[in-house]
Chains A and B, each alone.
Chain A
């Protein structure tokens, strides 16, 4: 279902979902994406906001209830994990298939 809706995830989408295995607010996501991609992927605030809104709408992530911090935090939903794992398996398969020929 989710795969039909989002097709393949773009690189920024993939990294954003990876960061959201633990709860994070907007700016923390931006920093974490840059960190785990070793600086290869940078997400601007405008882009991040649109993507988060889209993910929430498709119920891939959800907003956590407000606590003391005023900033909204997000975390993956079960559906989000499913989307992320499917994407991971797809990418892994692609890499393995490539390795059979190239390595």
Chain B
């Protein structure tokens, strides 16, 4: 790989030899607008709504985390739901969010209208998609480029009559510290967690990894927002398909005193509304577009279905497994749908 480094040195040299200048952005056409993120999920009894407002780059302030006192209407099949505000966060509702307690079902029609701070009111709607048709999940081992890996084989059925959008997150229970770098401010924040969403090795999964040519050679990274791996059914229309997803193998071990430490996994499977899929895809496409950031490739707009504002009202249907114990070396664990919530 040294010669690749050599090539990178040359490119870096050219870039360093380049010169920079600054330009005025005062005449940018950017208006402050309401930002709404709401992803109501069937399978969850709580829906939170992040309500904020955008901060044009012509100004000099960052957007607020949330706007209390806003007027929010949240309706399921036309029936208004009570909307609450939490400053500190409740359960898995983040701080400075509104939330609704209501169990949703597939086919529910959700409407949202919000206004705050004298900004133009925003509205949107979405329909809760059908449930993820999971057949089974198998945990075993596979061979990766650098040795054995924990493999998750997720078998599911696609509905041939509809255009479907999916997502998967694999949570691991383990104490971890990591650093989050804010893309705007550049601030680095240390995050401590007992549970985190795994970054997946997709090298054996052609549905999510179709790198060929230079991409396969250089193995450029493609990050999925919040490690929620999304896909659509273009290539698997109406078929049963098995995802093959790997993570680093974390062998169980036993202390001398007999205490056994076993990692645990929880797999969350999402059926996404088209709006939520397109929103997440736009986030992924933009954040992974290094060429575009340097003016060498097109950059798309962020998708939004919030009229007069920005963000997404994108419904989903979430199913989850129990916490699955990491099988011992050489063992295989199979989970059937009956065991799923």
- The judgment on whether A and B are partners is no
